[in-house]
Amino acid sequence: MDRLFNSHWFVKIISFFIALMLFTMVNLDDLTSQPGVLPTISPATYTLEEVELSVLYDEENYAVIDQTESVRVNLRGPQSEIMLFQLTRPTYEVFVDVSEREEGVHTLNVQHRGFPEELTVSIVPQFARVELQEKQTISLPVEVELLHAEEVTEGYTVGTPIVNPINVDVRAARSIVSQVDSAKVFIDVAGADKMIEETGRVTLYQANGEEIELEPEPSVVDVRVPITSPNREVPVRVGREGELPEGLSIQEVRLEPGEVTVYGPLEIIDQLQVIELGNLNLNEITESGSYEWQVPVPPGVEQVSPEVVTVTVTVDQEQERELANVPIEIVGLADGQTATLAEAPTAVLIAYGTAEIVEQLDIEDIQAYIDISNFQEGEHEAELQINGPSNVRFQPVQATIPVIIRNDVIEGENE
């Protein structure tokens, strides 16, 4: 075979036959029109089955909800054109034009373009049906569906998801839009122990839960899901040091808020009873006012919220009031002892505070007592101690109380 292709005469003969075939195909129609040259050749036909029917319409305002899907295209013409069409497959289109039509059912003549001019085109069916419906736009809130919410890290809780944007628009034919019931995005929170930030695709659903194949605008949204570590509420407290300027008294010390939320491991936050903010320096207070206090973060705690507490101090002119017949209690009495007050079992106290507070003061609000836990048998002078409402200062008229302590005598002990 290689020897044949290397032969000069063989190549010439093959080239001649190829040229003859090409000449015959190009001039076939002219030859058939000349009597006596070649026998008469009838026109050729070719059929295209199930050709997709395109619809030209106002896509901004209308939607096609029903149409003739496909047609059959019959081509008739010179054999050479039919063969060329089959070989080259030029771009063509079969369509109906309803771009100037409004909503409704329309039956129109099927048109075509892109076929060779030498070919006769016939389309079956000749007319096609198209139904247009006006488009409508609705706005829907995006619902976040959390997957595996029960599988977050132990002790952590899932907060309320935040979506941006919160709504999506859906535009489609009126009858289709009416079927849309909800827009959802799905976020998997399994194993989460910190804030989740994801972009999710929005899916549309009917009321029965079936998905609708429509594209909302936008089709994706940004979702943030707070994942909160273990936490609990803990009260905050402020101490006091120093003394107010003479003539002033505290009406109220108010903390806002009175409790803060602490976040961290359960074994740490469960041990917290109170968070001390520090001491209020009374020496520097000359009038009512508010102060911002930074909340300290206890060791092992991840976060405290809020980080700042407002301490409001209200002061007023100091008033005094005498309270008589305040009962005196004895505490710290040992087993086998008895104690007796050498004088009256009541005390007289001077209460100092703002007018509003001292006027409302009652004896039941006060505990006056002496502590004899360190005393032996005999007569003693015990310091009178006072417990009472906050923001009230007490001054006993008699600072010490005489008390007699006796040891009980056990029968038979001296026999």
Per the rule left: phi > 0, alpha: psi between -120 and 50, beta: everything else, 151 is alpha
Mean pLDDT of the chain: 88
* Residue with the larger pLDDT of the pair 42 and 141: 141
Q: What is the pLDDT of residues 260-286, one digit of tens each?
A: 999 988 889 989 999 999 999 999 999
pLDDT above 90 covers a percentage of the chain that reads: 76
The candidate with the shortest Cα–Cα distance to 200, out of 219, 225, 217, is: 219
Encoded tokens for 224:
């943030």
Pick the CATH number of 45-134 from 3.40.50.1220, 2.170.120.30, 2.40.30.10, 3.40.30.10: 2.170.120.30
- Equal CATH topology for 231-317 and 320-407: yes
Element holding 315 (H helix, E strand)? strand 308-331
The candidate with the shortest Cα–Cα distance to 368, out of 398, 339, 390, 340, is: 398
pLDDT band at residue 31 under the 50/70/90 scheme: very low
Is the omega angle on the peptide bond into residue 39 within 30 degrees of 0, that is, cis? no
In the chain, what is the straight-line distance between the N-terminal and C-terminal CA atoms, in Å? 150
297-321 average pLDDT score: 94
Tell me the one-letter amino acid at 412: G
| Cα 103 from Cα 96, distance rounded (Å) | 15
Lowest average pLDDT, out of 11-20, 23-32, 170-179, goes to 23-32
Encoded tokens for 92:
């063509």
pLDDT value of residue 6: 60
CATH code of the domain made up of 137-228: 2.170.120.40
Helices 79-88 and 8-26, packing angle to 10 deg: 110
Residue 10 reports pLDDT greater than 70: no
pLDDT band at residue 234 under the 50/70/90 scheme: very high
Residue 43 reports pLDDT greater than 80: yes
Can you spell out the DSSP letters for 135-197? EEEEEEEEEEEEESGGGSPTT-EE---EEESSEEEEEEEHHHHTT--EEEEEEE-TT--S-EE
pLDDT value of residue 92: 94
| Cα 366 from Cα 148, distance rounded (Å) | 57
The candidate with the shortest Cα–Cα distance to 46, out of 102, 101, 105, 89, is: 89
24-31 average pLDDT score: 51
Residue 412 reports pLDDT greater than 60: no
Q: What is the pLDDT of residues 321-361, one digit of tens each?
A: 999 999 999 999 888 889 999 888 999 999 999 999 999 99
Element holding 81 (H helix, E strand)? helix 79-88
Secondary structure (3-state) at 278: strand
Q: Could you give the count of Cα atoms lying within 13 Å of 147 in the half-sphere of its Cβ?
A: 6
Secondary structure (3-state) at 282: helix
| Cα 99 from Cα 29, distance rounded (Å) | 41
Lowest average pLDDT, out of 2-11, 99-108, 325-334, 370-379, goes to 2-11
227-234 average pLDDT score: 89
The verdict on domain 320-407 having CATH code 3.40.50.10490 is: no
Q: Where are the domains of the chain?
A: 2-32, 45-134, 137-228, 231-317, 320-407
| Cα 365 from Cα 349, distance rounded (Å) | 13
The verdict on domain 231-317 having CATH code 2.170.120.40 is: yes
| Cα 67 from Cα 131, distance rounded (Å) | 6
The candidate with the shortest Cα–Cα distance to 249, out of 310, 322, 350, 320, is: 320
pLDDT value of residue 32: 46
